Amino acid sequence: MFLENTSRKGWVEVICGSMFSGKTEELIRRLKRANYANQKVEIFKPAVDVRYSESEVVSHDAHAIRSTPVDSSQNILLMSTNVDVVGIDEAQFFDENIVDICRQLADSGVRVIVAGLDMDFMGQPFGPMPALMATAEYVTKVHAICVRCGNLAQHSHRLTTENKLVMLGEKDTYEAICRHCFSQLK
């Protein structure tokens, strides 16, 4: 189909957690290691995410790697010809087809590394992330530190009253908090 080498075995890795937990930093670390190993790497992010850069995946601590912004998950498949590794950041912002796209890439021998929020600001599973985690061979859950009590944080608490699901923001809009602090806000 889009990859001729069928002797390789592909798989899907998911890096998930709350905001400020190091998901993108871990994605960048894995992709840079693949580059060092002379593997052909393509990196994608949703075109809507322009917080730090239009053409790079950038972590909150300013680590960056070149990427291709795409409007839909289908574009990832179209642009992943003859690659060894595909990286995808902010997967929660993609449509549900991202799960099938990752599966197709892995089935064709590509290592797929996906990072995204596992829960939205209301504490509910976010977009395609639960299905990605269920179909992945490897899932890494990373945690931030609760800004209120210092425990491990797993929630991205929104500091504004805006109720729309997708709202890009940083430390002025979100904070990482633990289960206990999150439940006290309900």
Give the 3-state DSSP-derived string for 59-121, with helices as H, strands as E and coil as C: CCCCCEEECEEECCHHHHHHCCCCCCEEEECCHHHCCCHHHHHHHHHHHCCCEEEEEEECECC
Among this protein's residues, is 96 annotated catalytic?
no
State the burial class of residue 80 (Cβ atoms within 10 Å of its Cβ: 0-12, 13-18, 19+). buried
Task: Choose, from 13, 26, 42, 90, the residue flagged as catalytic.
Answer: 90
Catalytic machinery residues: 90
